[in-house]
Structure 1
Amino acid sequence: MKGSFNKIIQSEIPVLIDFYADWCAPCKVLTPILKEVKEELGDAVKIVKIDIDKNGSIAGRFQVRGVPTMILFKEGTALWRQAGVLPKDQLLTTLRQYI
């Protein structure tokens, strides 16, 4: 995953990485929100889910201490970061600033 992760975040299209865990209740709340955000924004943003239990080195690299944590990348640069669940409208407003 490590090599492909670096390639994913180098995209010119903003990439929202959702660091999550299967055991995390708030992560389960965030999943349908992200689906609705993707439906609304379409190809203007990529959304990638990263399981911290299976990809601990990536989570460590970005100092993810709690889940869910979302980090928005564009061309390899982290532009925005949020720990916890955001309401759909707030997340859409934030993402539109970077599209």
Structure 2
Amino acid sequence: MAENVLEFTDANFQSEVLEASEPVLVDFWAPWCGPCKMMMPTIEEIASDYSGRVRVGKLNTDENPGIASASSINAIPTVMLYKNGEVVEKFVGVTPKERFAASLDSQL
């Protein structure tokens, strides 16, 4: 995983995502998911492009079922944008970088 892509877990989700002062983009994924692997370069590019302005991270749904369940993740990849602890946008399936960028730009 790229150095500017954070790892979110059931244990740190509250502090790292819900209590963050900046917008947070969370990629819900699993290692066996082909489309999730396809999304990895896009997530890494977004993390690099928005470094210092947006927190970007991944949450492995297999290892962190509590947050995945609480977030009503029914399909992966699912990417959610949080601001002030609330979901402001949800993307399901492989999503182009431009859609993430437009959504992030509207929250900054």
The equivalent residue for 1:7 is: 15
CA distances 1:37-94 after superposition (whole Å, capped 9, x unpaired): 1221111111110000000111000100000001111221111111111111221111
Output the CA distance in 1 between the equivalents of 2:84 and 2:98.
25
Q: What is the aligned residue count?
A: 99
CA distance in 1 between partners of 2:42 and 2:67 (Å): 23
Query: Per the alignment, in what secondary structure is the counterpart of residue 79 of structure 2?
Result: strand
Gap regions ≥5 residues in structure 1: none
Where structure 2 has 5 or more consecutive residues not aligned to the other structure, the ranges are: 1-8
1:57 paired residue among 57, 66, 84: 66
| Equivalent residue number for residue 83 of structure 1 | 92
TM-score (norm 1): 0.93
Q: State the superposition RMSD in angstroms.
A: 1.1
Query: Shift of residue 3 of structure 1?
Result: 4.0
Please report how far the alpha carbon of residue 2 of structure 1 lies from its aligned counterpart in structure 2 after TM superposition. 3.0
Q: Normalising by the residue count of structure 2, what TM-score does the alignment of the two structures yield?
A: 0.86
Of 50, 54, 74, which residue of structure 2 is paired with 1:45?
54
Map Cα deviations across residues 2-32 of structure 1 (whole Å, 9 max, x no partner).
3421111211110111100000011011110
- Partners in 2 of 1:40 and 1:3 — Cα distance? 27
Runs of 4+ in 1 over 3 A off after TM superposition: none
The answer for the alignment partner of 1:18 in structure 2 is: 27
Deviates more, 1:51-60 or 1:86-95: 86-95
